[in-house]
Amino acid sequence: MYSERVMDHFNNPRNMGEVENYNAKGTVGNAKCGDIMQITMKIEDETIQDVKFKTFGCGAAVATSSIATEMVMGKPVEEALRLTNSAVVEALEGLPPVKIHCSVLAEEAIKAAIEDYRSRAPG
């Protein structure tokens, strides 16, 4: 039921873990099935220098978090904020319909992390 792309990210998750000395952290949960995703980032000069994820959820949730970190790594914060779940799904070569909600979580976790960074930043 999952594409090869999804299985690749599931079996070899990129950027899994927690960024040391992160200055941005977003944890979001999903009311649908109860999964939880955590994104940590090191942001410098409005650019995402490092990003890592941790996910408690299904194969699709793990794969979307993994690919989403790749998609925002090294990107300016403004650009990362424009990441949509449909872009994530497309990058994964599709998800089963019942699993689309898992990809929303990745988008939300990234936004939550950036919001957290903004709330910490002086001024």
Partner 1 sequence: MFVYCDNAATTPLCKQALEAMMPWLETGYGNASSIYKLAREAKRALEDARRTAADCLGVAAEELYFTSGGTESDNWALKGACELGGDARRHIVISAVEHHAVVNTAEYLQKKGYSLSEAPVNASGTVKPDALRSVLRPGTAIVSVISANNEIGTVQPIAELARTVKEFDKEILFHTDAVQAAGHIPLDVTPDVDMFSLSAHKFGGPKGFGALYIKSGVKLPPLLHGGGHERGRRSSTENVAGAAGLAAALEYMTGNREAFAEKAAALRDKLIGGILAAVPYCRVTGHRERRLPGTASFIFAAVEGESLVLQLDTMGVAGSSGSACASASLDPSHVLLAIGLPHEVAHGSLRLTVSHANTDKEMDHVIQSVKTAVERCRSMSPLWNAAESCPVEGFLRFYE
Contact residues toward partner 1 (CB under 8 A) are 7, 10-11, 13, 16-17, 27, 32-38, 54-59, 61-62, 98, 101-102
Q: Given 43, 102, 109, 112, which residue is catalytic?
A: 102
**Does the active-site annotation cover 58?**
no
Residue with Cβ nearer ligand FES (71 or 100): 100
Closest Cα to residue 46, out of 27, 19, 67, 24? 24
Using the rule CB under 6 A, is 87 a contact of ligand FES? no
Using the rule CB under 6 A, is 58 a contact of ligand FES? yes
**Does the active-site annotation cover 102?**
yes
Q: Which residues bind ligand FES (CB under 6 A)?
A: 33, 35, 57-58, 60-61, 99, 102
Query: Which residues form the catalytic set?
Result: 33, 102
